[in-house]
Structure 1
Amino acid sequence: MTQTSTGTTRTGTTSTAESAAAVVTEFFDRYRSRDVDGMTDLCSINAGFSYVPVEMWGKQRVLRGDGTVGTVGKPLWAGLIASFPDLSNTVHTVTSNDEGDVVVQADIEGTQQGAWGLITPAGKHYSEPHLFILHVGPDLLIDSITGYWDDAGISQQLGHNEVD
């Protein structure tokens, strides 16, 4: 296993722990720059996407954070950036292996300026630890992203305390 917390560039055409970590580090650099198109450029066309805690209830349907990067991930990231214009991440660790598996521990934070799901903007800031599990294929493109965090913690920081 290789562990790194510094930025590197994409190299090579085979997936090694180092090259997988470099792709994912670049992905989070682009996320920090709020470059959604750049983030998706690092993903395969049908990259799987699952933000496990995402669940937005509407009047006639429930939206969940499961699908592909193109159909769910990209709109979700664009919506987050629109609602939290200062959205950022601090990557603490990137751990990878030669099979292309990459685990990232990062804090995501931002100040809400627009509505997000059922949370109305109150100008409040959140910072929450996140765990991401990604896979980088032999073509050095991310082919799956799964994210975990405490959604209730974010809601509480934003002043949204929902009671069923």
Structure 2
Amino acid sequence: MTIQLDSAPTIGARKATEVVTEFFNAYRRRDVEAMTDMCTDNADFSYIPFEVWAKQRVMRGDGKVRTVGKVIWSGLINAFPNLFNVVHHIDGNDDGDVVVACDIAGTQQSAWAFIAPQGQPFSEPHLFIMHVNPEGLIDSIRAYWDNAGVCRQLGHLEVD
């Protein structure tokens, strides 16, 4: 006798990559509201290299899209008004997992974290690992990049 377990619903690779492609299109338009609306209310957010050290605390890029993510995206767009991305590769599976290799670039016009504006451009490869749920909403965003490379390009060299 064979027992078949109900499997969790899936979204399909094509639909998952379409959702994430539209997310990056909204990012390219610098439309934080559209980016946020494409995510669940409780979507996880983790920008692994992101840290801002203050006198008595450290702000890390971990939390939820609608709190930490929205603040980081809005801050980036404010500091880099021409912020854009170029997607080089996007791949997904039927479970809704999507991997994106892209470059994010822009020219700094105002302060970003503790980096004073010097009018310098940056362009840095990023890797995003995202998940799209069966309803077609993003419920997890993780990103990786070389933060020291970004700082170097912006002329911010920190010495302890």
Question: Hey, what does 1:71 align to over in structure 2?
Answer: 67
Structure 2 Cα separation of the partners of residues 117 and 78 of structure 1? 12
Give the root-mean-square deviation of aligned CA atoms.
1.0
Of 17, 25, 34, 1:38 maps to 34
> What corresponds to 2:5 in structure 1?
none
Q: Secondary structure at the match of 2:143?
A: strand
CA distance in 1, matches of 2:159, 2:98: 36
Say how many residue pairs are matched.
152
Q: Give the structure with higher Rg (CA).
A: 2
Q: What corresponds to 1:148 in structure 2? A: 144
Q: Which residue does 2:20 correspond to in 1?
A: 24
Structure 1: 5+ residue stretches without partners: 1-12
Do structure 1's residue 98 and structure 2's residue 87 form an aligned pair?
A: no
Secondary structure at the counterpart of residue 159 of structure 1: coil
Residue 89 of structure 2 aligns to a residue whose secondary structure is strand
Match of 1:58 among 39, 54, 60: 54
Q: Which runs of 4+ in 1 moved over 4 A?
A: none
Equivalent residue number for residue 3 of structure 1? none
Q: Describe the superposition over 1:38-91 as per-residue Cα deviations: whole angstroms up to 9, x where unpaired.
A: 000100000000000000001111000000000100010000000000000000
Which residue, out of 133, 155, 160, partners 1:159? 155
The question of whether the paired residues in 1 share the 8 Å contact of 2:106 and 2:122 is answered with yes
Residue identity opposite 2:140 in structure 1: S
Q: 1:87 aligned to 60, 83, 87, which one?
A: 83
Deviation at 1:14?
5.4
Which residues of structure 2 form unaligned runs of 5+? 1-8
Query: Structure 2 CA distance, aligned partners of 1:14 and 1:136?
Result: 9
